[in-house]
Structure 1
Amino acid sequence: MNKKAIRKEILKKLADLTSEEKLAKDQVIFSKVIESSHYKESENIFVFVSYNKEVDTHRIINHALQQGKKVSVPVILSIKEGMVAVSIDNLQDLKKNKYGILEPPLIDTNITAPQDIDLVLVPGAAFDGKGGRVGYGAGMYDRYLVQLRSSTKKIALGYSFQLLGQVPMEPLDVRVDGIITD
Structure 2
Amino acid sequence: MDKKILREKVLQKRADLSPKSIIEYSDIIAEKLYKMDSYKEAKTIMSFISFDSEVNTHEIIKRSISHNKSIVVPITIPKTKELKVSEVLDFSELELGYYNILTPKKEYIRFIDPSTIDLILVPGVVFARNGYRVGYGGGYYDRFLSKFEKKVDKIGLAFDLQVTDEVPTDSFDIPVDLIITEKEIINCLKK
TM-score by length of 1: 0.95
How big is the shift at 1:109?
Answer: 7.3
Q: Which runs of 5+ in 2 are unaligned?
A: 183-191
How big is the shift at 1:24?
Answer: 1.3
Letter in 1 for 2:159: Y
Change (3 A) 1:99 1:53: same
Alignment of 1:53-92 (within 5 A): 53-78=53-78, 80-92=80-92
What does the per-residue CA deviation read over 1:140-166, in whole Å, with 9 as the maximum and x for residues that have no partner?
100111122432111100000111011
Question: Any conservation in 1 of the 2:81–2:138 contact (CA below 8 Å)?
Answer: no
Letter in 1 for 2:154: K
Is the deviation greater in 77-86 or in 52-61?
77-86
Q: Which residue of 2 aligns with 1:133?
A: 133
CA distance in 2, matches of 1:47, 1:79: 22
Letter in 1 for 2:82: G
Q: Which residue of 2 aligns with 1:161?
A: 161
How big is the shift at 1:61?
Answer: 0.4
Letter in 2 for 1:71: I
CA distance in 1, matches of 2:31, 2:41: 15
Are 2:116 and 1:122 aligned? no
Pairs aligned (count): 182
Alignment of 1:15-54 (within 5 A): 15-54=15-54
> SS at the partner of 1:141?
helix
Question: Runs ≥4 in structure 1, deviation > 6 angstroms?
Answer: none
Q: Which residue of 2 aligns with 1:152?
A: 152
CA distance in 2, matches of 1:139, 1:85: 16
Letter in 2 for 1:173: D
% identical aligned pairs: 35
Q: Which residue of 2 aligns with 1:176?
A: 176
CA distance in 2, matches of 1:108, 1:20: 32
Change (3 A) 1:108 1:131: same
Letter in 1 for 2:124: G
Change (3 A) 1:158 1:106: same
CA distance in 2, matches of 1:13, 1:137: 18
> SS at the partner of 1:112?
coil
Question: Any conservation in 2 of the 1:79–1:140 contact (CA below 8 Å)?
Answer: no
> SS at the partner of 1:110?
coil
> SS at the partner of 2:98?
coil
**What is the RMSD of the two structures over their aligned residues, measured on CA atoms?**
1.5
Change (3 A) 1:107 1:20: closer
Is the deviation greater in 145-154 or in 160-169?
145-154
TM-score by length of 2: 0.91
